[in-house]
Amino acid sequence: MMTNPALDSITTNNQWDKLIADYQSFGGRINNIVQRRGALGLGLFPIDQSKPIELSAPDELLVPVDQVKLENDHIIIAEPDRFPDGYATWYKTFQQCFSWGADGYKSILQFETALRTLPDDIQNLLQPFCNVPIRQRLPSENKNNIFKRFIKTRQINYKGKKVLMPMIELVNHSAFQKSWNMNDDGIHIKGNFEDEILVRYSMADPIFRFMQYGFSCREKTAFSMDLQVLHYGYKVIVNGGVNNAPFDPLNIVSSGEQIIIHSPLLGSTANQRLPRSLFKKALSMVKGIKPDELFDQIIYINRLQVIKILKSLSKVNNPTKVDLQEVCLDQLILLSLNS
Amino acid sequence: MESEFPFLMGSAADWHKFLDEFRSFGGRAENVMQRKGAFGLGLFPIDSAKPIELRVPDQLLVPTSNVELQDSEIVIKDDDNYPDGYSDWFRRYQSSYSWGAEGRQNTLTIEEGLKALPEEALLLLKRSGLYNAEKRFPEEDTEQELLLRFIQTRCINRKGNRVIMPMIELLNHSPSADTYDMKGDGISVDGLYDGEILVKYSNSDPIRRFINYGFNAPERLGFSLPLKLKHREQNVAIRGGNGAAPNKPCNVEIKNNTIIIEQPLLASVQSPKMPRTLFIQGLQNINGINANELFDQIHQRNSRIYIELIRILYKVEGDTADKLCCACLNQLTALSHRYGQRDDLLNKAANSSKID
């Protein structure tokens, strides 16, 4: 999320108007939208709330992540010929003035630096929620490393490729909104918005969202961290993390005395009975276990880990402290939504 | 010459003289000294290789109704039933080693700290039945209120009376320690101790230990807050608090179309399968409810309230807010200790219910 104070009065900024006009000339659509500061920092808002907004990034304007590179501190398109004439220049300006250059670089650096200065015990406690250890996320403050992290926070899977979405990436996230509409033509947001235009970036829970994007946010689901637990003679390995299809049957692999469970849903605001019932259904085929009890054990381990993070945070002074506390409390609430 | 007990309140000679007097009345206090430790003033073995012994015979226990403040000292009101000189010893004991040593000041600090919490926190504590500043510390008669609070943290139920146990009340609490031995004549504590002599005061959970005693301890049980909730179209009221018999199924009754559940045990570090088992047992004869789901509902509501309180306390600076926050986190930790159920006990209960 961008927080460039210079862009507060963006409605009067010729640069924004030109950016939109040029974007439309390439086939992008942006109607009834203004950029300004809101509760979540800079975001996009309807100009007239009584009318629908439209924001579209057509297929040909989506930029595969392997097509962007960092050159002289600017994000540029590596092979401009693959895009409409002039688009690479427009994209460079967009990144420099409204995304990477506006705040993207700085916010990533600040967040990663803050994470790396968390005491070792907290980093270790967070580890089971991360794919990569905190110290390895940003091996150095080299701009290229920061660029890689930046891309990870902006990319989306589209037609089997990871792509960046110009303009649409300026929209902030809310778990309580719809996601982008993706079809063969591109990626779109349409509809009426009373206030800020928000989309659900992806399925996540508070801790995973925070570790991925660096902000705290109410979410509708909770997933497990990585853990192992003994259960009636079985070694149960839970591969934690976000399940992008959380309401589908759970993926488990049972072999001998080992059970591997992939990304179980542990809590849901939408349907509190679903996490446990999905879990029980998936594990009902395994003999000699008690699925209800195993589900409780997984919740128990997750809860204790989150509470330990909260206890350790009380002793530290770190720029992420307040957000991380909020995130952990939100996670705890979600972990209880599983009657 | 250096003191034998460098942290002792008063001299070693005074302490030994005091203990000699206590013994002369029939009490026992062997191999113990008072000094400051991790929990403030407490009792320690003089020689940790040897057992300690503390015993207060019944005749030296003082009913709480028989003490009062006189010139800022705790004294026995009616000393007819005590040995000669005991009431004077008790007054000096309270003054030098208990109320006067740290007790009054600690009580004042706790009460002032709680009362100074922000309105938002006080309202939530009141709504949750945990703390009501107006009732507990109205400051209309401050010394009397402090005395009452102090006594509540020091007394114990003995043969239907609430009594103060001189000497033994100086012991600090640990949830993992043994409790007092109350089998014979009086109350006693004995055995070998490497460090501080600790006893388990009572069954409690972390939040109530803090609210009632003013210190944090990793208690091993979790009880519910008082709650009213809807469960499958039925009204359910939970009477919160420490259950007197946490290892038995909770009592349940139906009044005015409301299912009333008495002080359910929600979590146990030692026996995490028991809370749900006892809950289901307690509710097995109640129609129209799903005990498993209701148990989870109660947990959910409890967690939400503590999380709400923590969010409020995070915005507050101060020792009491920090300690209360720690108590809430300890409570959430305690409440996490519940998984599975004892099918053997539930099957047995179900079978006996069928036979009945």
- What's the pLDDT tens digit per position in B70-96? 999 999 999 999 999 999 999 999 999
Q: Which domain covers residue B315, as residue numbers?
A: 221-355
* B5 within a domain of the structure (yes/no): no
Report CB contact under 8 Å: A338, B303: no
pLDDT for res A37: 86
Report CB contact under 8 Å: A297, B339: yes
pLDDT interval class at A5 (50, 70, 90): very low
CATH number at residue B90: 3.90.1410
* A206 within a domain of the structure (yes/no): no
Q: How far is A172 from chain B (nearest CA, A)?
A: 24
**pLDDT single digits (tens) B249-260:** 999 999 999 999
Same domain, A316 and A234: yes
Same domain, B230 and B350: yes
Nearest CA to B199 among B56, B60, B92?
Answer: B56
Residue owning tokens 């107006």: B134
pLDDT interval class at B215 (50, 70, 90): very high
Given a cut of 80, is residue B60 above it in pLDDT?
Answer: yes
Residue in B297, B310, B341 closest to A329 by CB: B310
Phi (first) and psi of residue A223, to 5 degrees = -120, 170
* B317 within a domain of the structure (yes/no): yes
pLDDT (mean) for A160-178:
95
| Angle value at C-alpha B351, between B350 and B356, nearest 5 degrees | 95
Number of structural domains, chain A?
2
**pLDDT single digits (tens) A273-321:** 999 999 999 999 999 999 999 999 999 999 999 999 999 999 999 999 9
| DSSP bridge pairs for B158 | B161
Number of structural domains, chain B?
2
Q: Which helix (H) or strand (E) holds A34?
A: strand A33-38
Q: Which domain covers residue A19, as residue numbers?
A: 5-201
pLDDT for res A140: 82
Q: How many CB atoms lie within 10 A of CB B318?
A: 13
Report CB contact under 8 Å: B338, A307: no
The last residue of one of the domains, among B213, B248, B266, is B213
Report CB contact under 8 Å: B336, A300: yes
Q: Which helix (H) or strand (E) holds A80?
A: none
**Chain B neighbors of A292, CB-CB under 8 A:** 340-341
Same domain, A152 and A264: no
**Chain A neighbors of B340, CB-CB under 8 A:** 290, 292-293, 296-297
Same domain, B205 and B235: no
* B3 within a domain of the structure (yes/no): no
Whether A125 and A170 have beta carbons less than 8 Å apart is answered as no
Q: Enumerate chain A positions whose Cβ falls within 8 A of a Cβ in B.
A: 290, 292-293, 296-297, 299-300, 303-304, 307, 310-311, 314, 322, 325-326, 329, 332-333, 336-339
Report CB contact under 8 Å: B300, A337: yes
Same domain, A114 and A9: yes
* B34 within a domain of the structure (yes/no): yes
Same domain, B174 and B94: yes
Report CB contact under 8 Å: A299, B293: no
Residue in B304, B326, B333 closest to A333 by CB: B304
Given a cut of 80, is residue B353 above it in pLDDT?
Answer: no
Same domain, A43 and A165: yes
Q: How far is B330 from chain A (nearest CA, A)?
A: 9
Same domain, B35 and B170: yes
SS3 per residue for chain B: CCCCCCCCCCCHHHHHHHHHHHHHCCCEEECEEEEEECCEEEEEECCCCCCEEEEECHHHCEEHHHEEEECCEEEECCCCCCCCCHHHHHHHHHHHHCHHHHHHHHHHHHHHHHHCCCHHHHHHHHHCCCCCHHHHCCCCCHHHHHHHHHHHHHEEEECCEEEECCCHHHCEECCCCCCCECCCCCEEEEECCCCCCEECCCCCCHHHHHHHHCCCCCCCEEECCCEEEEECCEEEEEECCCCCCCCCCCCEEEECCEEEEECCEEEECCCCCHHHHHHHHHCCCCCCCCHHHHHHHHHHHHHHHHHHHHHHHHCCCCHHHHHHHHHHHHHHHHHHCCCCCCHHHHHHHHHHHHHC
| DSSP bridge pairs for A43 | A36
Q: Which residue of B has its CA nearest to A329?
A: B307
pLDDT for res A3: 37
Taking the C-alpha atoms of residue A276 and residue B326, their distance in angstroms, rounded to an integer, is 30
Given a cut of 70, is residue B144 above it in pLDDT?
Answer: yes
* B7 within a domain of the structure (yes/no): no
The last residue of one of the domains, among A167, A201, A235, is A201
Residue in B311, B314, B333 closest to A304 by CB: B333
Report CB contact under 8 Å: A336, B299: yes
Question: Where is pLDDT greater, at B341 or A2?
Answer: B341
**Chain B neighbors of A326, CB-CB under 8 A:** 311
Taking the C-alpha atoms of residue A322 and residue B246, their distance in angstroms, rounded to an integer, is 37
pLDDT for res A234: 98
